[in-house]
Amino acid sequence: MAQGNIEDIARGMARLLCDKKCEHAVLLAVGPVSSIADYFIIATATSRAHMRACADDIEAFAASHAVRPLTRPANHDGSVWTLIDLGSIVLHLFTAEGRAYYDLDKVWFEAERIPFE
């Protein structure tokens, strides 16, 4: 059970990624256009090591708000995409190449962008 408003938790996660120097972080309200989740967070890490560190930080942040991941990211050194499914929130961390290739921003263009700064 999450402690606090899920949108506030998602905003906090997006801010954390910015604080950790992820690039082009966006928070999307996907709930109105999909049943997959309520929010997607999409961000670009500067390296695979940076992606792993940010995923660890997000998991710690989630745990501090009593949010448990439904999936845990596999730490594959060659991966261009790390996904953490937190139920109502799904985090997508990419390398620059992965983000350009999968282009989730374009796929979910109908979702409202939520400000988090």
The domain that contains 51 carries what CATH number?
A: 3.30.460.10
Residues 112, 28: contact at Cβ < 8 Å? yes
Query: How would residue 15 be classed by pLDDT, with cut points 50, 70 and 90?
Result: very high
Contact indicator for 47, 37 with CB cutoff of 8 Å: no
- The total of structural domains in the chain comes to 1
Region of poorest pLDDT, from 7-21, 47-61, 70-84: 70-84
Average pLDDT over residues 26-47: 96
Flag whether 26 is in a domain.
yes
Helix/strand/coil for 78: coil
Token pair listed for 61: 């942040």
In a 13 Å sphere around the CA of 3, the CA atoms on its Cβ side amount to: 6
Domain that holds residue 10: 6-113
Confidence of residue 79 (pLDDT cuts 50, 70, 90): confident
Whether residue 1 lies inside any domain: the answer is no
Task: For residue 46, give every residue at least 6 positions away whose Cβ sits within 8 Å of its Cβ, in sequence order, or none.
Answer: 21, 22, 23, 96
Identify the weakest region by mean pLDDT among 2-11, 46-55, 58-67, 84-93. Answer: 2-11
